[in-house]
């Protein structure tokens, strides 16, 4: 047993950390968020590094690595709250790779891997209001999931209507379409992998929010000493660490299960998404509390982490929905129909 990254995985992580620190500096993230735009040249750079296709099979133009390697990237992207279509495009690729036919893979995966014809994924709500889809305006195609079935639709054939959310780092639209090309294989397995990739992003958001709190608590003086010396503050930070680390352990485990123990993936993915969804809001929220008034200002960068964390928590299955699935799969059986 070895619960740590291999040298190759470690190299992916440090390259990503370094690259993203120089490209998504806080002022850049703020500029992109406030203008509601992505930087196309940054996307081209990521594509040159082979990131969009990291998990896509080599025959379709990817690197043929696993979900765990994808999680390493989404965690690092979350760590800087990068405004980027990376996650939505990866989600579409995972759905097509796991649920699509050979022809569908042939058609859509090369564009996902090269980053030149991106996709995205939305989950159709129970109220028939159309799916809330990230990055839909910029995507060539969208995978719409409705219960246990999914279709792939060219975005040009769908109705796409921009909606405002609290997350300025990522644009959302309502998307509806009739028809579409059904994905006939493992829809649930594809969605599980999407949930794990998103959990990775939430781990990164939580980690950075924790670090911001700790740095501030060491620096900020009140009553003549750093506020981190007070247990009311330091225990809050310890709680953040516990939640961030637990989200990380559950997410890495789920990524590993996706690649090496698929029979454990359903429970592992729902555990990771449920826990990370809570942590992705609670850790930034505690961090805001440690920051006090300054953390509530528009000028402080913590807002991007808190709002993206809360929005991510509700994307691709809420914590409540994933916990219900854990209950079903671990011994309580399916919930009775309401």
Residues of the shown chain interacting with other proteins in the complex, contacts defined by CB under 8 A: 1-6, 9, 68, 214, 217-218, 225-226, 228-231, 234-235, 237-239, 241-242, 245-246, 249-250, 252-253, 256, 260-261, 271, 274-275, 320, 323-324, 326-327, 330-333, 335-336
Q: How far is the CB of 262 from other proteins (least distance, A)?
A: 13
Q: How far is the CB of 157 from other proteins (least distance, A)?
A: 38
Long-range Cβ contacts of 311-315 (<8 Å, 24+ apart): 311/165, 311/166, 311/167, 311/170, 311/172, 312/167, 312/198, 312/201, 312/202, 312/205, 312/277, 312/280, 313/202, 313/277, 313/278, 313/280, 313/281, 314/277, 315/132, 315/134, 315/198
| Nearer residue to other proteins within complex by CB, 96 or 203 | 203
Q: How far is the CB of 95 from other proteins (least distance, A)?
A: 24
| Nearer residue to other proteins within complex by CB, 3 or 298 | 3
Q: How far is the CB of 49 from other proteins (least distance, A)?
A: 22
| Nearer residue to other proteins within complex by CB, 169 or 207 | 207
Q: How far is the CB of 57 from other proteins (least distance, A)?
A: 21
Residue 164: CB atoms within 10 A of its CB come to: 9
**How far apart, in whole angstroms, are the C-alpha atoms of residue 326 and residue 46?**
35
**How far apart, in whole angstroms, are the C-alpha atoms of residue 247 and residue 207?**
10
| Nearer residue to other proteins within complex by CB, 2 or 22 | 2
| Nearer residue to other proteins within complex by CB, 10 or 149 | 10
């Amino acid at each position: 047993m070895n619960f740590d990254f291999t040298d190759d995985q470690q190299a992916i992580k440090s390259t990503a950390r370094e690259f993203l620190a120089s490209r998504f500096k806080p002022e850049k993230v703020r500029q992109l968020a406030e203008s509601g735009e992505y930087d196309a040249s940054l996307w081209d750079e990521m594509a040159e590094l082979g990131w969009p296709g990291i998990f896509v099979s080599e025959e379709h133009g990817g690197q043929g690595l696993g979900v765990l390697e994808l999680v390493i990237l989404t965690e690092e992207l979350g760590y800087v709250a990068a405004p980027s279509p990376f996650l939505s495009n990866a989600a579409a690729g995972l759905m097509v790779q796991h649920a699509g036919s050979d022809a569908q893979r042939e058609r859509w995966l090369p564009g996902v891997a090269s980053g030149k014809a991106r996709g995205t994924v939305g989950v159709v709500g129970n109220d028939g209001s159309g799916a809330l889809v990230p990055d839909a305006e910029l995507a060539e195609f969208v995978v719409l999931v409705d219960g246990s079935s999914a279709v792939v639709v060219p975005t040009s054939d769908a109705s796409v209507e921009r909606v405002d959310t609290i997350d300025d780092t990522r644009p959302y639209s309502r998307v509806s379409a009739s028809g579409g090309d059904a994905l006939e294989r493992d829809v649930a397995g594809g969605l599980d992998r999407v949930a794990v990739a998103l959990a990775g992003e939430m781990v990164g958001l939580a980690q950075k929010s924790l670090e911001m709190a700790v740095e501030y608590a060491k620096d900020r003086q009140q009553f003549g000493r750093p506020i981190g010396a007070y247990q009311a503050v330091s225990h809050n930070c310890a709680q953040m660490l516990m939640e961030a680390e637990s989200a990380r352990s559950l997410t890495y485990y789920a990524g590993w299960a996706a690649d090496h123990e698929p029979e454990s993936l359903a429970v592992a993915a729902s555990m990771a998404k449920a826990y990370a969804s809570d942590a992705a809001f609670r850790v930034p929220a505690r961090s805001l509390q440690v920051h006090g008034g300054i953390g509530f200002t528009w000028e402080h960068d913590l807002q991007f982490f808190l709002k993206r964390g809360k929005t991510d928590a509700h994307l691709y299955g809420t914590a409540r929905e994933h916990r219900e699935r854990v209950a079903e799969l671990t011994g309580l059986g399916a919930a009775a129909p309401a």
